[in-house]
Structure 1
Amino acid sequence: MALGKLRVHFRNAAGQVLEQPTGRYIIIRYTNGPRRFADLQTLLGHGKQLLALRQWHKVVGDHRRMTPFTPAESAWVTDCWLSMPRTRMREFFGAVLLPADVLGRIPTEQAEGEAIANALTYRLFAEESEAAAWLEQLP
């Protein structure tokens, strides 16, 4: 696991974007409670900008305290945020952190396997250290 110090890149009511320079990935850590759609779009927009600026292709999505996405937010994330052109980024990897009780209700093969959603190859984790270790072994 990378030992570099996390840097806060951006924060608002929806969460914060952190950068892990040693591991060459970002963390999007969502806050709990209701959020405005515009705040979510701004938060994820800053995450996307940081990935492009650093020419990185790995992200930890920390959903452990987050209120689940609304259908409109889910659609926007899938249709807009994850639609990064392949010409700008080789592969795109995401480690999704879920609360342990939620992760325990997901079928084992889904929780332990890799999945692909749009341009993102992702894996589910309960612990940030496991997520970081998985991202750091990727190219």
Structure 2
Amino acid sequence: MSNKPARSLYFENANGRIWEEPEGYLRLEYRPGPREILQFRALLTHVAQALSRRNWDKILVDQRDMAPFSPAEQAWMTNEWLPYAVQNHGYRYGAVLVANNVFARLSMNQLVMATRNLAHTYRTFEAEAPAMVWLLEQR
């Protein structure tokens, strides 16, 4: 039996789940399939609130099963959510487990390029173990 503290579920809806990890970061897991825009915005709004609540700056973003971002999702994340999460909620480091869907990977690459002027670092990974190592090394 492990004495490691358990992670706790912070929020969940049809688009994904947000976990609070005992090591001091959030885990955002996207569900497969198309997303409804209001549910998508709610999910990410809860991510920002959880960062502030815990005073954390790191997220492990699991996009492996994710569908591509829609143009509306892409625009909202680029122009509103990500700048707000960085400036008002302290989001600094995102370790991204890349999507299996090539179009989802491309939409994430577009987001990274469009927001590279923010005080924020994304790094992409194929596997979870190196993603966690990198995320926990960030200070």
Q: What is aligned with 2:52?
A: 52
CA distance in 1, matches of 2:136, 2:130: 10
Q: 1:43 to 1:86 in 2, by over 3 A?
A: closer
- Contact persistence 2:25–2:56 (CA under 8 A): yes
Partner of 1:42: 42
Quick one: structure 1 residues 54 and 74, their matched pair in 2 at CA, closer, same or farther if it must change by over 3 Å? same
1:116 positional shift = 3.4
The ranges of structure 1 where at least 4 consecutive aligned residues each deviate by more than 4 angstroms after the TM superposition are none
**TM-score, structure 1 normalization:** 0.79
Aligned to 2:10: 9
**Paired residue for 1:64?**
64
> Structure 2: where are the runs of 5+ without partners?
110-114
Q: Which amino acid aligns with 1:75?
A: A
CA RMSD of aligned residues (A): 2.5
CA distance in 2, matches of 1:93, 1:78: 16
Q: Which runs of 5+ in 1 are unaligned?
A: none
Over residues 46-80 of structure 1, what are the superposed CA-to-partner deviations in whole Å (9 max), with x where a residue is unaligned? 11100000110001111100101011101111111
In 1, Cα distance between equivalents of 2:89 and 2:44 = 17
TM-score relative to the length of structure 2: 0.79
Assess, with a 3 A threshold, how the Cα gap between structure 1 residues 37 and 86 changes in structure 2: closer, same or farther.
Answer: closer
Q: How far apart, in 2, do the equivalents of 1:28 and 1:129 lie?
A: 16
In the other structure, the counterpart of 1:124 is 124
Provide the aligned length of Structure 1 versus Structure 2. 126
Aligned to 1:26: 26
Corresponding position of 1:74: 74
Higher helix share: 2
Percent identical residues: 37
One-letter amino acid of the structure 2 residue matched with residue 48 of structure 1: A
CA offset at residue 118 of structure 1?
2.9
State whether residues 82 and 119 of structure 1, in contact with CA within 8 Å, keep that contact through their aligned partners in structure 2.
no
